[in-house]
């Protein structure tokens, strides 16, 4: 794996550092956040919410995350 970040990963990292904290569904994909977490650039808190849709009686799930930059990285 290359040590260099892709343009999308670089933009995401700059966005997270600028805001200090970034949440899911604000324009950054789960895959991008996962790569940044694996490289030790951000810490991510993951959670999954599951509910049953009333009319369809089917389970639905949504993955949420919160990313914070690692100090000194």
Closest CA to 15 of 38, 39, 32: 32
Residue 50: which region, alpha, beta or left (left: phi > 0; alpha: psi -120 to 50)? Answer: beta
Structure tokens, 6: 């892709």
Distant-in-sequence, close-in-space partners of 29: CB < 8 Å, separation ≥ 6: 8
Q: Distance between CA atoms of 23 and 28, rounded to whole angstroms?
A: 9
The pLDDT of residue 15 is 95
- The rounded average pLDDT for each run of 10 residues, N- to C-terminus, in the chain (73 residues) is 83 95 92 95 95 89 93 78
| Dist. CA 55–CA 9, nearest whole Å | 39
């Amino acid at each position: 794996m290359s040590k260099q970040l892709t343009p999308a990963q670089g933009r995401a990292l700059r966005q997270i550092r600028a805001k200090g904290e970034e949440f899911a569904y604000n324009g950054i994909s789960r895959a991008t956040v996962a790569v940044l977490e694996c490289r030790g650039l951000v810490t991510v808190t993951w959670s999954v919410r599951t509910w049953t849709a009333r009319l369809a009686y089917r389970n639905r799930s949504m993955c949420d995350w919160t990313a914070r930059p690692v100090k000194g990285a």
